[in-house]
Chain A
Protein backbone atom coordinates (compact mmCIF):
# COMPACT_ATOMS: atom_id res chain seq x y z
CA UNK A 1 0.00 0.00 0.00
CA UNK A 2 1.12 3.52 -0.75
CA UNK A 3 -1.39 5.72 1.07
CA UNK A 4 -3.98 3.13 2.00
CA UNK A 5 -6.71 5.38 0.62
CA UNK A 6 -10.05 3.68 0.12
CA UNK A 7 -9.54 3.92 -3.63
CA UNK A 8 -6.17 2.23 -3.42
CA UNK A 9 -7.58 -0.56 -1.21
CA UNK A 10 -10.41 -1.25 -3.64
CA UNK A 11 -8.10 -1.28 -6.63
CA UNK A 12 -5.51 -3.48 -4.92
CA UNK A 13 -8.26 -5.92 -3.83
CA UNK A 14 -9.10 -6.50 -7.47
CA UNK A 15 -12.73 -5.51 -6.98
CA UNK A 16 -14.19 -3.53 -9.90
CA UNK A 17 -13.87 0.06 -8.65
CA UNK A 18 -16.39 2.87 -8.90
CA UNK A 19 -15.51 6.53 -8.44
CA UNK A 20 -17.72 9.60 -8.67
CA UNK A 21 -17.23 13.27 -9.45
CA UNK A 22 -18.25 16.43 -7.63
CA UNK A 23 -18.04 19.96 -9.03
CA UNK A 24 -17.32 22.59 -6.36
CA UNK A 25 -19.72 25.54 -6.30
CA UNK A 26 -19.23 29.07 -7.64
CA UNK A 27 -19.55 30.22 -4.05
CA UNK A 28 -18.09 29.48 -0.66
CA UNK A 29 -21.00 27.22 0.28
CA UNK A 30 -19.16 24.15 1.47
CA UNK A 31 -22.48 22.59 2.47
CA UNK A 32 -23.34 22.17 -1.22
CA UNK A 33 -20.33 19.93 -1.75
CA UNK A 34 -21.16 18.04 1.43
CA UNK A 35 -24.76 17.63 0.25
CA UNK A 36 -23.68 16.14 -3.08
CA UNK A 37 -21.08 13.95 -1.40
CA UNK A 38 -23.82 12.62 0.94
CA UNK A 39 -25.87 11.64 -2.14
CA UNK A 40 -22.98 9.52 -3.39
CA UNK A 41 -21.96 8.11 0.00
CA UNK A 42 -21.84 4.32 -0.08
CA UNK A 43 -22.20 4.18 -3.87
CA UNK A 44 -18.69 5.19 -4.92
CA UNK A 45 -15.25 4.34 -3.54
CA UNK A 46 -13.76 7.81 -3.95
CA UNK A 47 -14.84 11.25 -5.06
CA UNK A 48 -13.12 13.39 -7.70
CA UNK A 49 -13.13 17.10 -6.92
CA UNK A 50 -12.59 19.12 -10.05
CA UNK A 51 -10.06 21.94 -10.20
CA UNK A 52 -11.89 24.93 -11.70
CA UNK A 53 -13.22 22.72 -14.48
CA UNK A 54 -13.48 24.26 -17.94
CA UNK A 55 -11.56 27.19 -16.46
CA UNK A 56 -14.51 28.45 -14.41
CA UNK A 57 -13.69 29.89 -11.00
CA UNK A 58 -15.02 27.66 -8.22
CA UNK A 59 -14.15 26.72 -4.66
CA UNK A 60 -10.74 25.08 -4.67
CA UNK A 61 -10.60 21.30 -5.07
CA UNK A 62 -8.33 21.00 -2.05
CA UNK A 63 -10.67 22.95 0.22
CA UNK A 64 -13.56 20.73 -0.89
CA UNK A 65 -11.38 17.66 -0.46
CA UNK A 66 -10.74 18.70 3.14
CA UNK A 67 -14.51 18.91 3.70
CA UNK A 68 -14.84 15.33 2.45
CA UNK A 69 -12.01 14.12 4.67
CA UNK A 70 -13.95 15.59 7.59
CA UNK A 71 -16.95 13.53 6.47
CA UNK A 72 -14.86 10.35 6.50
CA UNK A 73 -14.88 10.09 2.68
CA UNK A 74 -11.98 9.53 0.29
CA UNK A 75 -11.45 12.50 -2.05
CA UNK A 76 -9.43 12.52 -5.28
CA UNK A 77 -8.12 16.04 -5.71
CA UNK A 78 -7.71 17.22 -9.28
CA UNK A 79 -4.75 19.48 -10.02
CA UNK A 80 -4.33 21.17 -13.37
CA UNK A 81 -1.26 22.93 -14.76
CA UNK A 82 -3.25 25.88 -16.06
CA UNK A 83 -3.44 28.12 -13.01
CA UNK A 84 -0.35 27.53 -10.89
CA UNK A 85 3.37 27.26 -11.37
CA UNK A 86 5.52 24.54 -9.83
CA UNK A 87 5.98 26.52 -6.63
CA UNK A 88 2.25 26.87 -6.02
CA UNK A 89 1.45 23.30 -7.05
CA UNK A 90 4.04 21.74 -4.74
CA UNK A 91 2.90 23.98 -1.92
CA UNK A 92 -0.72 22.94 -2.52
CA UNK A 93 0.25 19.28 -2.64
CA UNK A 94 1.90 19.59 0.78
CA UNK A 95 -1.20 21.40 2.04
CA UNK A 96 -3.52 18.75 0.62
CA UNK A 97 -1.56 15.95 2.27
CA UNK A 98 -1.52 17.88 5.55
CA UNK A 99 -5.31 18.07 5.35
CA UNK A 100 -5.58 14.29 5.02
CA UNK A 101 -6.04 14.04 1.26
CA UNK A 102 -4.52 10.86 -0.18
CA UNK A 103 -5.34 10.79 -3.90
CA UNK A 104 -4.25 13.43 -6.41
CA UNK A 105 -5.22 13.39 -10.07
CA UNK A 106 -2.90 15.20 -12.50
CA UNK A 107 -4.38 17.04 -15.48
CA UNK A 108 -3.27 19.63 -17.99
CA UNK A 109 -6.46 21.68 -17.72
CA UNK A 110 -8.73 23.24 -20.32
CA UNK A 111 -7.50 26.47 -21.85
CA UNK A 112 -8.68 29.56 -19.95
CA UNK A 113 -10.55 30.84 -22.99
CA UNK A 114 -13.37 28.37 -22.24
CA UNK A 115 -14.10 29.75 -18.79
CA UNK A 116 -15.34 32.85 -17.04
CA UNK A 117 -11.91 34.50 -17.00
CA UNK A 118 -11.02 34.19 -20.68
CA UNK A 119 -8.40 36.96 -20.50
CA UNK A 120 -6.42 35.25 -17.70
CA UNK A 121 -2.82 34.21 -18.18
CA UNK A 122 -2.48 30.47 -18.79
CA UNK A 123 0.39 29.44 -16.54
CA UNK A 124 1.43 26.00 -17.85
CA UNK A 125 4.84 26.24 -16.18
CA UNK A 126 4.90 22.44 -16.19
CA UNK A 127 2.77 20.00 -18.17
CA UNK A 128 0.64 17.10 -16.92
CA UNK A 129 3.40 14.56 -17.59
CA UNK A 130 5.89 16.61 -15.60
CA UNK A 131 3.31 17.04 -12.83
CA UNK A 132 3.04 13.27 -12.43
CA UNK A 133 6.84 12.95 -12.28
CA UNK A 134 7.09 15.85 -9.85
CA UNK A 135 4.63 14.22 -7.42
CA UNK A 136 6.39 10.88 -7.77
CA UNK A 137 9.72 12.50 -6.96
CA UNK A 138 8.22 14.32 -3.98
CA UNK A 139 6.89 11.01 -2.69
CA UNK A 140 9.58 8.49 -3.67
CA UNK A 141 12.72 10.62 -3.53
CA UNK A 142 11.49 13.24 -1.05
CA UNK A 143 12.72 15.86 -3.41
CA UNK A 144 11.12 18.99 -4.79
CA UNK A 145 11.17 19.81 -8.49
CA UNK A 146 14.08 22.19 -7.92
CA UNK A 147 16.19 19.52 -6.19
CA UNK A 148 15.79 20.51 -2.56
CA UNK A 149 14.79 17.82 -0.07
CA UNK A 150 11.42 17.71 1.66
CA UNK A 151 11.82 17.90 5.42
CA UNK A 152 9.74 14.75 5.86
CA UNK A 153 8.27 12.11 3.55
CA UNK A 154 4.77 12.42 2.08
CA UNK A 155 2.40 9.85 0.68
CA UNK A 156 0.25 10.37 -2.39
CA UNK A 157 -1.69 7.94 -4.58
CA UNK A 158 -1.03 9.51 -7.96
CA UNK A 159 -3.63 9.51 -10.69
CA UNK A 160 -3.75 10.80 -14.23
CA UNK A 161 -6.18 10.95 -17.09
CA UNK A 162 -6.00 9.82 -20.68
CA UNK A 163 -8.31 10.60 -23.54
CA UNK A 164 -8.82 7.80 -26.09
CA UNK A 165 -10.93 10.23 -28.12
CA UNK A 166 -8.18 12.75 -28.70
CA UNK A 167 -5.77 12.60 -31.63
CA UNK A 168 -3.47 11.37 -32.98
CA UNK A 169 -5.41 8.21 -32.04
CA UNK A 170 -2.51 5.87 -32.75
CA UNK A 171 -0.39 7.70 -30.18
CA UNK A 172 -2.92 7.68 -27.34
CA UNK A 173 -2.01 4.27 -25.86
CA UNK A 174 1.69 5.17 -26.03
CA UNK A 175 0.93 8.42 -24.25
CA UNK A 176 -0.71 6.38 -21.49
CA UNK A 177 2.43 4.25 -21.30
CA UNK A 178 4.42 7.44 -20.94
CA UNK A 179 2.27 8.47 -17.97
CA UNK A 180 3.01 5.11 -16.36
CA UNK A 181 6.69 5.72 -17.01
CA UNK A 182 6.31 9.16 -15.42
CA UNK A 183 5.04 7.49 -12.25
CA UNK A 184 1.27 7.27 -12.20
CA UNK A 185 -0.59 4.81 -9.92
CA UNK A 186 -4.08 4.86 -11.47
CA UNK A 187 -5.82 6.19 -14.56
CA UNK A 188 -9.24 7.64 -15.22
CA UNK A 189 -10.28 8.08 -18.84
CA UNK A 190 -12.29 10.76 -20.58
CA UNK A 191 -16.01 9.92 -20.80
CA UNK A 192 -16.74 7.09 -23.22
CA UNK A 193 -19.62 7.33 -25.66
CA UNK A 194 -17.86 5.84 -28.68
CA UNK A 195 -17.37 2.32 -27.31
CA UNK A 196 -15.81 1.00 -30.53
CA UNK A 197 -13.02 3.53 -30.39
CA UNK A 198 -12.49 2.88 -26.68
CA UNK A 199 -12.17 -0.86 -27.36
CA UNK A 200 -9.64 -0.23 -30.14
CA UNK A 201 -7.66 1.90 -27.70
CA UNK A 202 -7.85 -0.80 -25.01
CA UNK A 203 -6.58 -3.38 -27.50
CA UNK A 204 -3.45 -1.32 -27.93
CA UNK A 205 -3.25 -0.73 -24.17
CA UNK A 206 -3.31 -4.51 -23.60
CA UNK A 207 -0.80 -5.10 -26.39
CA UNK A 208 1.58 -2.76 -24.58
CA UNK A 209 0.75 -4.43 -21.24
CA UNK A 210 -0.17 -1.13 -19.61
CA UNK A 211 -3.31 -2.54 -17.91
CA UNK A 212 -1.07 -4.87 -15.91
CA UNK A 213 0.97 -1.95 -14.60
CA UNK A 214 -1.80 0.45 -13.58
CA UNK A 215 -5.53 0.12 -12.96
CA UNK A 216 -7.60 1.94 -15.60
CA UNK A 217 -10.98 3.37 -14.65
CA UNK A 218 -13.22 4.00 -17.64
CA UNK A 219 -15.09 7.31 -17.58
CA UNK A 220 -18.85 7.53 -18.16
CA UNK A 221 -21.30 10.44 -18.16
CA UNK A 222 -25.06 9.86 -17.93
CA UNK A 223 -26.88 12.05 -20.46
CA UNK A 224 -29.69 13.90 -18.74
CA UNK A 225 -31.37 15.26 -21.86
CA UNK A 226 -31.06 15.56 -25.61
CA UNK A 227 -29.77 19.10 -25.14
CA UNK A 228 -27.02 17.90 -22.80
CA UNK A 229 -26.01 15.21 -25.29
CA UNK A 230 -25.86 17.69 -28.15
CA UNK A 231 -23.92 20.14 -26.04
CA UNK A 232 -21.32 17.50 -25.21
CA UNK A 233 -21.12 16.48 -28.85
CA UNK A 234 -20.57 20.00 -30.14
CA UNK A 235 -19.07 22.06 -27.34
CA UNK A 236 -16.97 19.94 -25.00
CA UNK A 237 -13.41 19.54 -26.15
CA UNK A 238 -12.01 16.02 -26.31
CA UNK A 239 -15.34 14.15 -26.45
CA UNK A 240 -16.84 12.04 -29.22
CA UNK A 241 -20.61 11.47 -29.00
CA UNK A 242 -21.74 9.21 -31.88
CA UNK A 243 -24.89 10.16 -33.82
CA UNK A 244 -26.49 6.80 -32.97
CA UNK A 245 -26.58 7.76 -29.31
CA UNK A 246 -28.12 11.14 -30.10
CA UNK A 247 -30.72 9.40 -32.33
CA UNK A 248 -31.48 6.83 -29.66
CA UNK A 249 -32.07 9.57 -27.12
CA UNK A 250 -34.14 11.54 -29.62
CA UNK A 251 -36.41 8.54 -30.26
CA UNK A 252 -36.92 7.73 -26.57
CA UNK A 253 -40.12 8.97 -24.93
CA UNK A 254 -38.39 9.33 -21.53
CA UNK A 255 -35.01 10.99 -22.17
CA UNK A 256 -33.77 10.71 -18.60
CA UNK A 257 -34.58 7.02 -18.37
CA UNK A 258 -32.90 6.44 -21.75
CA UNK A 259 -29.84 8.40 -20.59
CA UNK A 260 -29.61 6.22 -17.50
CA UNK A 261 -30.08 3.06 -19.57
CA UNK A 262 -27.30 4.05 -21.99
CA UNK A 263 -24.97 4.72 -19.06
CA UNK A 264 -25.84 1.46 -17.26
CA UNK A 265 -25.35 -0.55 -20.47
CA UNK A 266 -21.98 1.12 -20.98
CA UNK A 267 -20.85 0.22 -17.46
CA UNK A 268 -22.07 -3.37 -17.82
CA UNK A 269 -20.12 -3.67 -21.03
CA UNK A 270 -17.01 -2.03 -19.56
CA UNK A 271 -17.05 -4.64 -16.75
CA UNK A 272 -16.38 -7.27 -19.44
CA UNK A 273 -13.52 -5.41 -21.15
CA UNK A 274 -10.18 -6.94 -20.21
CA UNK A 275 -7.96 -4.40 -18.51
CA UNK A 276 -10.71 -2.10 -17.25
CA UNK A 277 -10.39 -2.00 -13.46
CA UNK A 278 -13.40 0.15 -12.72
CA UNK A 279 -15.57 3.03 -13.81
CA UNK A 280 -15.54 6.72 -13.09
CA UNK A 281 -19.07 8.11 -13.11
CA UNK A 282 -19.17 11.81 -13.93
CA UNK A 283 -22.66 13.06 -13.15
CA UNK A 284 -21.86 16.66 -12.31
CA UNK A 285 -25.13 18.60 -11.92
CA UNK A 286 -26.98 15.26 -11.81
CA UNK A 287 -25.39 13.81 -8.69
CA UNK A 288 -28.68 12.38 -7.37
CA UNK A 289 -28.78 9.82 -10.19
CA UNK A 290 -25.50 8.12 -9.23
CA UNK A 291 -27.02 5.66 -6.68
CA UNK A 292 -29.53 4.42 -9.25
CA UNK A 293 -26.90 4.02 -11.97
CA UNK A 294 -24.48 2.24 -9.66
CA UNK A 295 -27.22 -0.06 -8.37
CA UNK A 296 -28.64 -0.89 -11.80
CA UNK A 297 -25.14 -1.54 -13.12
CA UNK A 298 -24.69 -4.15 -10.40
CA UNK A 299 -21.94 -2.27 -8.57
CA UNK A 300 -23.80 -1.87 -5.29
CA UNK A 301 -22.98 -2.42 -2.46
CA UNK A 302 -19.43 -1.10 -2.49
CA UNK A 303 -16.73 -2.95 -0.56
CA UNK A 304 -15.90 -1.84 2.98
CA UNK A 305 -12.39 -2.04 4.42
Chain B
Protein backbone atom coordinates (compact mmCIF):
# COMPACT_ATOMS: atom_id res chain seq x y z
CA UNK B 1 0.00 0.00 0.00
CA UNK B 2 0.94 3.65 -0.09
CA UNK B 3 2.26 4.72 3.28
CA UNK B 4 1.98 8.32 4.41
CA UNK B 5 2.63 10.53 7.39
CA UNK B 6 0.53 13.54 8.24
CA UNK B 7 2.40 16.79 7.89
CA UNK B 8 3.29 18.54 11.15
CA UNK B 9 0.33 20.58 12.38
CA UNK B 10 2.18 23.95 12.35
CA UNK B 11 2.87 23.44 8.63
CA UNK B 12 -0.83 22.82 7.92
CA UNK B 13 -1.88 25.76 10.13
CA UNK B 14 0.45 28.03 8.17
CA UNK B 15 -0.79 26.73 4.83
CA UNK B 16 -4.45 27.49 5.58
CA UNK B 17 -3.78 30.82 7.31
CA UNK B 18 -5.33 32.96 4.53
CA UNK B 19 -8.59 30.95 4.43
CA UNK B 20 -11.85 31.21 6.41
CA UNK B 21 -13.54 27.96 5.40
CA UNK B 22 -11.45 24.81 5.26
CA UNK B 23 -12.33 21.20 4.49
CA UNK B 24 -9.98 18.50 5.74
CA UNK B 25 -10.55 15.62 3.34
CA UNK B 26 -9.53 12.10 4.34
CA UNK B 27 -9.22 9.05 2.11
CA UNK B 28 -10.65 5.64 2.90
CA UNK B 29 -7.89 3.59 1.30
CA UNK B 30 -4.16 3.15 2.05
CA UNK B 31 -3.79 6.15 4.35
CA UNK B 32 -6.69 4.90 6.45
CA UNK B 33 -4.96 1.56 6.88
CA UNK B 34 -1.67 3.21 7.83
CA UNK B 35 -3.52 5.46 10.27
CA UNK B 36 -2.36 8.72 8.74
CA UNK B 37 -5.14 10.17 6.60
CA UNK B 38 -8.42 8.34 7.20
CA UNK B 39 -11.63 9.59 8.72
CA UNK B 40 -10.28 9.53 12.28
CA UNK B 41 -7.21 11.55 11.34
CA UNK B 42 -9.30 13.97 9.24
CA UNK B 43 -11.56 14.67 12.25
CA UNK B 44 -8.58 15.09 14.58
CA UNK B 45 -6.80 17.39 12.19
CA UNK B 46 -9.92 19.53 11.66
CA UNK B 47 -10.39 19.82 15.41
CA UNK B 48 -6.77 20.75 16.00
CA UNK B 49 -6.84 23.33 13.20
CA UNK B 50 -10.03 24.81 14.55
CA UNK B 51 -8.54 25.12 18.06
CA UNK B 52 -5.36 26.65 16.74
CA UNK B 53 -7.30 29.28 14.82
CA UNK B 54 -9.44 30.12 17.86
CA UNK B 55 -6.32 30.46 19.98
CA UNK B 56 -4.76 32.74 17.40
CA UNK B 57 -7.86 34.95 17.52
CA UNK B 58 -8.71 34.14 13.90
CA UNK B 59 -11.48 31.57 14.16
CA UNK B 60 -12.32 29.66 11.00
CA UNK B 61 -14.95 27.17 9.87
CA UNK B 62 -13.13 23.89 9.65
CA UNK B 63 -14.98 20.78 8.56
CA UNK B 64 -13.85 17.25 7.89
CA UNK B 65 -15.04 14.61 5.50
CA UNK B 66 -13.70 11.38 4.04
CA UNK B 67 -14.23 9.88 0.61
CA UNK B 68 -13.87 6.22 -0.13
CA UNK B 69 -10.96 6.72 -2.53
CA UNK B 70 -9.42 10.08 -3.39
CA UNK B 71 -7.42 8.84 -6.38
CA UNK B 72 -10.42 8.29 -8.68
CA UNK B 73 -12.63 11.03 -10.09
CA UNK B 74 -15.90 9.18 -9.54
CA UNK B 75 -15.40 8.94 -5.77
CA UNK B 76 -14.81 12.69 -5.53
CA UNK B 77 -18.28 13.53 -6.83
CA UNK B 78 -19.99 12.39 -3.62
CA UNK B 79 -18.26 15.22 -1.75
CA UNK B 80 -19.01 17.98 -4.28
CA UNK B 81 -21.32 19.97 -2.01
CA UNK B 82 -18.88 20.00 0.88
CA UNK B 83 -15.96 20.82 -1.37
CA UNK B 84 -17.67 23.69 -3.15
CA UNK B 85 -18.74 25.22 0.17
CA UNK B 86 -15.18 25.98 1.37
CA UNK B 87 -12.25 28.25 0.41
CA UNK B 88 -9.64 25.53 0.47
CA UNK B 89 -9.29 21.76 0.89
CA UNK B 90 -6.56 20.10 2.90
CA UNK B 91 -6.19 16.57 1.60
CA UNK B 92 -4.92 13.83 3.87
CA UNK B 93 -4.63 11.46 0.90
CA UNK B 94 -1.36 10.56 -0.79
CA UNK B 95 0.12 12.77 -3.49
CA UNK B 96 -2.03 10.98 -6.04
CA UNK B 97 -5.20 11.90 -4.18
CA UNK B 98 -4.16 15.55 -3.86
CA UNK B 99 -3.55 15.74 -7.60
CA UNK B 100 -6.76 13.92 -8.46
CA UNK B 101 -8.62 16.51 -6.40
CA UNK B 102 -6.86 19.42 -8.12
CA UNK B 103 -7.55 17.90 -11.55
CA UNK B 104 -11.21 17.24 -10.79
CA UNK B 105 -12.01 20.47 -8.95
CA UNK B 106 -9.96 22.89 -11.01
CA UNK B 107 -11.46 26.02 -9.42
CA UNK B 108 -10.74 24.79 -5.91
CA UNK B 109 -7.30 24.66 -4.37
CA UNK B 110 -6.44 21.38 -2.64
CA UNK B 111 -3.35 21.49 -0.44
CA UNK B 112 -1.41 18.48 0.84
CA UNK B 113 -1.83 17.66 4.52
CA UNK B 114 0.22 14.50 4.34
CA UNK B 115 3.67 13.48 3.13
CA UNK B 116 3.55 10.39 0.93
CA UNK B 117 6.44 8.36 2.25
CA UNK B 118 6.65 5.14 0.24
CA UNK B 119 5.06 1.97 -1.06
CA UNK B 120 5.40 -0.63 1.59
CA UNK B 121 3.86 -2.79 4.25
CA UNK B 122 3.29 -2.76 8.00
CA UNK B 123 5.80 -5.25 9.41
CA UNK B 124 4.10 -4.93 12.79
CA UNK B 125 1.71 -2.50 14.46
CA UNK B 126 3.10 1.00 14.00
CA UNK B 127 6.08 0.01 11.84
CA UNK B 128 6.09 0.29 8.06
CA UNK B 129 8.88 -0.48 5.64
CA UNK B 130 9.52 0.39 2.02
CA UNK B 131 9.46 -2.55 -0.40
CA UNK B 132 8.97 -1.19 -3.90
CA UNK B 133 9.98 1.96 -5.75
CA UNK B 134 7.83 1.22 -8.79
CA UNK B 135 10.78 1.00 -11.18
CA UNK B 136 8.66 -0.58 -13.89
CA UNK B 137 10.83 -3.67 -14.44
CA UNK B 138 10.42 -6.19 -11.64
CA UNK B 139 13.41 -8.37 -10.73
CA UNK B 140 11.87 -10.06 -7.68
CA UNK B 141 11.80 -13.35 -9.56
CA UNK B 142 15.59 -13.39 -9.75
CA UNK B 143 16.25 -12.24 -6.21
CA UNK B 144 13.65 -14.59 -4.78
CA UNK B 145 11.26 -11.99 -3.48
CA UNK B 146 13.51 -9.31 -2.00
CA UNK B 147 13.90 -6.13 -4.06
CA UNK B 148 17.51 -4.94 -4.53
CA UNK B 149 16.32 -1.63 -5.93
CA UNK B 150 14.15 -0.69 -2.96
CA UNK B 151 15.92 -2.58 -0.19
CA UNK B 152 19.55 -1.75 -1.04
CA UNK B 153 20.48 1.86 -0.18
CA UNK B 154 22.51 1.98 -3.36
CA UNK B 155 20.02 0.06 -5.54
CA UNK B 156 22.81 -2.31 -6.55
CA UNK B 157 22.19 -5.21 -8.90
CA UNK B 158 25.50 -6.87 -7.96
CA UNK B 159 25.60 -6.45 -4.21
CA UNK B 160 26.28 -6.49 -1.37
CA UNK B 161 28.73 -3.59 -1.19
CA UNK B 162 31.60 -3.29 1.25
CA UNK B 163 29.46 -1.44 3.76
CA UNK B 164 27.34 -4.47 4.65
CA UNK B 165 28.23 -5.74 8.12
CA UNK B 166 26.44 -8.09 10.50
CA UNK B 167 23.45 -8.14 8.16
CA UNK B 168 22.97 -4.38 8.40
CA UNK B 169 23.35 -1.56 5.89
CA UNK B 170 26.07 1.04 6.40
CA UNK B 171 23.46 3.81 6.60
CA UNK B 172 21.97 2.57 9.88
CA UNK B 173 22.01 -0.33 12.30
CA UNK B 174 18.21 -0.20 11.99
CA UNK B 175 18.26 -0.99 8.27
CA UNK B 176 18.78 -4.54 7.08
CA UNK B 177 21.19 -5.01 4.19
CA UNK B 178 18.91 -5.97 1.31
CA UNK B 179 21.65 -7.97 -0.37
CA UNK B 180 22.41 -9.86 2.81
CA UNK B 181 18.75 -10.88 2.89
CA UNK B 182 18.90 -11.82 -0.78
CA UNK B 183 22.03 -13.89 -0.12
CA UNK B 184 20.33 -15.80 2.67
CA UNK B 185 17.22 -16.33 0.58
CA UNK B 186 19.24 -17.64 -2.38
CA UNK B 187 21.17 -19.94 -0.03
CA UNK B 188 17.92 -21.27 1.40
CA UNK B 189 16.67 -22.18 -2.07
CA UNK B 190 20.09 -23.47 -3.24
CA UNK B 191 20.28 -20.71 -5.79
CA UNK B 192 23.56 -18.97 -4.87
CA UNK B 193 24.61 -19.59 -8.49
CA UNK B 194 22.41 -16.59 -9.37
CA UNK B 195 25.04 -14.31 -7.82
CA UNK B 196 27.80 -15.43 -10.20
CA UNK B 197 26.48 -13.58 -13.25
CA UNK B 198 27.42 -9.92 -13.68
CA UNK B 199 24.03 -8.27 -13.98
CA UNK B 200 24.12 -5.51 -16.63
CA UNK B 201 23.17 -1.88 -15.91
CA UNK B 202 19.49 -1.41 -15.23
CA UNK B 203 17.21 0.12 -17.82
CA UNK B 204 15.95 3.04 -15.77
CA UNK B 205 13.78 4.34 -18.60
CA UNK B 206 10.85 2.35 -17.21
CA UNK B 207 11.23 4.21 -13.92
CA UNK B 208 10.62 7.90 -13.28
CA UNK B 209 14.01 8.50 -14.94
CA UNK B 210 12.29 7.99 -18.27
CA UNK B 211 10.03 10.97 -17.58
CA UNK B 212 6.49 11.10 -16.17
CA UNK B 213 4.93 7.73 -16.90
CA UNK B 214 1.60 7.08 -18.55
CA UNK B 215 0.04 3.75 -19.36
CA UNK B 216 -2.54 3.17 -22.09
CA UNK B 217 -4.23 -0.20 -22.46
CA UNK B 218 -6.24 -0.40 -25.64
CA UNK B 219 -7.98 -3.58 -24.47
CA UNK B 220 -9.74 -1.79 -21.65
CA UNK B 221 -10.16 1.75 -22.98
CA UNK B 222 -13.69 2.84 -23.85
Q: Do the two shown chains form a genuine complex with each other?
A: yes
**Interface positions of A (Cβ within 8 A of B):** 81-82, 86, 108-111, 113-114, 122, 124-130, 133-134, 145, 161-163, 165-168, 171, 174-175, 178, 181-182, 190, 237-238
In the complex, B162 has a CB within 8 A of chain A:
yes
**Does the CB pair A166–B164 fall under 8 Å?**
yes
**Does the CB pair B200–A110 fall under 8 Å?**
no
Checking A145, A162, A238 against B165 with a beta-carbon cut-off of 8 angstroms, the contacting residue is A238
Q: Measured between alpha carbons, how far is A110 from B155 in the docked complex, in Å? A: 13
**Does the CB pair B163–A166 fall under 8 Å?**
yes
In the complex, B161 has a CB within 8 A of chain A:
yes
Q: B153: nearest residue on chain A (CB-CB)?
A: A111
Given contacts A110-B163, A161-B162, A237-B163, contact A86 B201 (CB under 8 A): yes
Of the 9-residue stretches B35-43, B87-95, B113-121, B166-174, which lies at the interface with chain A? B166-174
Q: Measured between alpha carbons, how far is A254 from B51 in the docked complex, in Å? A: 66
Checking B167, B171, B196 against A111 with a beta-carbon cut-off of 8 angstroms, the contacting residue is B171
In the complex, B160 has a CB within 8 A of chain A:
yes
**Does the CB pair A127–B171 fall under 8 Å?**
no
In the complex, B108 has a CB within 8 A of chain A:
no
Q: Please indicate the chain A residues that have their CB under 8 angstroms from the CB of B153 in the complex.
A: 111, 122
In the complex, B138 has a CB within 8 A of chain A:
no
Given contacts A124-B156, A168-B183, A171-B195, contact A108 B161 (CB under 8 A): yes
Q: Please indicate the chain B residues that have their CB under 8 angstroms from the CB of A237 in the complex.
A: 162-163, 165, 170
Q: Please indicate the chain A residues that have their CB under 8 angstroms from the CB of B196 in the complex.
A: 174, 178, 181
Q: B184: nearest residue on chain A (CB-CB)?
A: A168
Q: Please indicate the chain B residues that have their CB under 8 angstroms from the CB of A190 in the complex.
A: 162
**Does the CB pair B166–A127 fall under 8 Å?**
no
Given contacts A145-B201, A167-B180, A171-B195, contact A162 B154 (CB under 8 A): no
What are 5 sample pairs from A and B whose C-beta atoms fall under 8 A apart?
Answer: A82-B154, A111-B163, A133-B200, A167-B177, A168-B164
Q: A132: nearest residue on chain B (CB-CB)?
A: B198
CB distance from B26 to the nearest CB of A (A): 30
In the complex, B204 has a CB within 8 A of chain A:
yes
Checking A108, A114, A125, A163 against B201 with a beta-carbon cut-off of 8 angstroms, the contacting residue is A125
Q: Which of B161, B166, B180 has most A Cβ within 10 Å?
A: B161
CB distance from A126 to the nearest CB of B (A): 5
Q: Measured between alpha carbons, how far is A82 from B171 in the docked complex, in Å? A: 14
Q: Which of B158, B164, B167, B196 has most A Cβ within 10 Å?
A: B158
Q: Please indicate the chain B residues that have their CB under 8 angstroms from the CB of A182 in the complex.
A: 198
Given contacts A133-B198, A167-B165, contact A127 B159 (CB under 8 A): yes
Q: Please indicate the chain B residues that have their CB under 8 angstroms from the CB of A127 in the complex.
A: 154-159, 161
Q: Please indicate the chain B residues that have their CB under 8 angstroms from the CB of A128 in the complex.
A: 156, 158, 161
**Does the CB pair A167–B170 fall under 8 Å?**
no
Q: A189: nearest residue on chain B (CB-CB)?
A: B162
CB distance from A135 to the nearest CB of B (A): 13
Q: Measured between alpha carbons, how far is A114 from B157 in the docked complex, in Å? A: 22
Q: Which of B160, B167, B183, B202 has most A Cβ within 10 Å?
A: B160
Given contacts A86-B201, A125-B201, contact A166 B162 (CB under 8 A): yes
Q: Measured between alpha carbons, how far is A88 from B65 in the docked complex, in Å? A: 49
CB distance from A90 to the nearest CB of B (A): 11
**Does the CB pair A178–B163 fall under 8 Å?**
no
CB distance from A247 to the nearest CB of B (A): 22
Given contacts A81-B154, A111-B170, A122-B154, contact A130 B160 (CB under 8 A): no
